[in-house]
Amino acid sequence: MERVEKSVDPRVKRTRKLLQQAFLELFEQKSFSTISIQDITERATVNRATFYAHFADKYELLDSIIREQFQQAVASKLPLSPNWGARSLRLLIEAVFDYLNGFHSHCKPANTQFHPLIERAVQQELAELLLGWLKQGKTSVVRPRVRLETMASVMSWAIFGTAAEWSRNERTPSAAEMVNQVFLVLTEGGAHLTPALVAD
């Protein structure tokens, strides 16, 4: 996951936070399509040039907010130093289900057209986190049969796709049961769970 560098000037961080907070306040009152850059800058009490020094447009601003919120949601669930392991993986799956459940519960119908933009940011963050864990956990000198990048991508889509589909619909079975099922698929694999699946 991308993190804001600690060496970033505090004034830059403060201005980014002002713009993000202004956007979130407006998002509570208006649909995304009706929020203008002028609205955001007036609410944040900065000028347009300052906005464009930080973000290319309101889409990039929204992307930054979603990524940071998702990072915080995941960090609140995981141990201080998570690594590649069953416990961390289960907690990560749980965090994704919780985050998407909350997101779809609070998103206004007028903003549903932006679900793909928001969900793409979450999936990318998830893939980056998994790839980092896989690289840290790579202790064997034997070359893996599957590239770590491919593993991270497949796993992130499995987790994210299942959680997104579940959170958009009736949310049955329970989140806990879905977390367990996704965890089993990822840790035990299709061949073990469906013995009829054999190599040709």
- For the chain, list the domains and their CATH numbers: 10-55 (1.10.10.60), 66-193 (1.10.357)
| CA–CA separation, 75 and 106 (whole Å) | 21
Q: Per-residue confidence at 194, pLDDT binned at 50, 70, 90?
A: low
Structure tokens at 181: 């099922």
Q: Per-residue confidence at 5, pLDDT binned at 50, 70, 90?
A: very low
Q: Are residues 59 and 76 in contact, defined by beta-carbon separation less than 8 angstroms?
A: no
Provide the whole-model pTM.
0.79
pLDDT tens figures, 63-86? 999 999 999 999 999 988 877 888
Mean pLDDT (whole number) for 8-31: 90
pLDDT tens figures, 85-103? 888 999 999 999 999 888 7
Mean pLDDT (whole number) for 56-69: 93
Q: Are residues 65 and 16 in contact, defined by beta-carbon separation less than 8 angstroms?
A: no
| CA–CA separation, 26 and 24 (whole Å) | 5
Most distant CA atoms of the chain, gap in Å: 65
Buried b (16+ CB within 10 A) or exposed e, 96-114: bbbbbbebbeeeeeebeeb
